[in-house]
Amino acid sequence: MKLFGRAPKEPPIAGALGHWGLSDWWFASFTKEERDYIEARFKPMGMPDDWKPLTQGAGSGLARSACGMLSTLGGWFKKPTERSIAERIFAQASREAKSCRDMLDLHFHFQLVAQVIYGTWRTHPELERGLEDVCLRQIAISEKAAKQWKATMSFAKDRNPLPNHHCYRELVDLYPRQGRNEEAIMLAERAKKEHWDGDWDRAIAEIRNPPPRRVAMIERRCKRCAAQSRNGDQFCRKCGASLR
């Protein structure tokens, strides 16, 4: 007998979403059109074009955790028109991150959030606070992530085994724009000590002695209200006038 007022329950699904118990979230968070779009866009390497790994197959091979799987998925939606989809995926990934114990999955989760959600902070200053928050979260587990990377990535034994650390680099760039040079130097020194790849000595030198163009940009003032602007600003933070 049909029960009035109760929506029909969606059929169970397989794939990565079914494997990690995310079926209810999938149906509740996206429309039918959005679900079709997501599955059409998400094509990991080696997968046939007609395969749908989110809802078909065993689904256990895409990631070590629900957080890792969702973060990988969210990384496919970087276009401005896809921002709403990306935000919903990363919101669930962040909820899953609270119980995730895999340091590399957490490491790349924070990196992808910084890249996809806050990647335009240089032209959108309102994103700076969110960027800083997620970057500090990645940096907080940097030593644990480095330890797991070295233990699992045996191919890198003959060279520096650690890759670039996205969030160290972002904050080392952001902080001098905010006048927080000493904090930027401390982060660069820490990244160097932990052996994350990158020319950290050069970064420190440029913070202490900025190139002439960077100094000019930092010291530029608004012609309308004389407020000082930050490096990379396109509009005055005080009166909104164009700085071009």
82-118: burial string, b at 16+ Cβ within 10 Å, e else: beebbebbbebbbebbeebebbbbbbbbbbbbbbbbb
Distance CA 134, CA 114 (A): 7
The whole domain housing 72 covers: 12-44+61-112
Counted residue by residue, the chain has a size of 244
Mean pLDDT of the chain: 85
What would the pLDDT profile of 1-27 be if each residue is shown by its tens digit? 444 443 445 667 888 999 999 999 999
Percent residues over pLDDT 90 in the chain: 66
Whether the predicted model's global pTM rises above the 0.95 cut: no
- Asked whether residue 127 is assigned to any structural domain, the reply reads no
Higher confidence at residue 50 or residue 55?
55
- List all residues 6 or more positions away from 11 whose beta carbon is below 8 Å from its beta carbon: none
| Region 157-170 average pLDDT | 83
Count of domains forming the chain: 1
For CA atoms 75, 87, 173, 68, the dihedral sign is negative
- Asked whether residue 209 is assigned to any structural domain, the reply reads no
pLDDT bucket at 163, cuts 50 / 70 / 90: very high
| Region 50-64 average pLDDT | 79
- Asked whether residue 136 is assigned to any structural domain, the reply reads no
- Asked whether residue 200 is assigned to any structural domain, the reply reads no
pLDDT bucket at 125, cuts 50 / 70 / 90: very high
Distance CA 126, CA 29 (A): 26
Distance CA 25, CA 67 (A): 14
- Asked whether residue 89 is assigned to any structural domain, the reply reads yes
- Asked whether residue 184 is assigned to any structural domain, the reply reads no
- Asked whether residue 154 is assigned to any structural domain, the reply reads no
- Asked whether residue 125 is assigned to any structural domain, the reply reads no
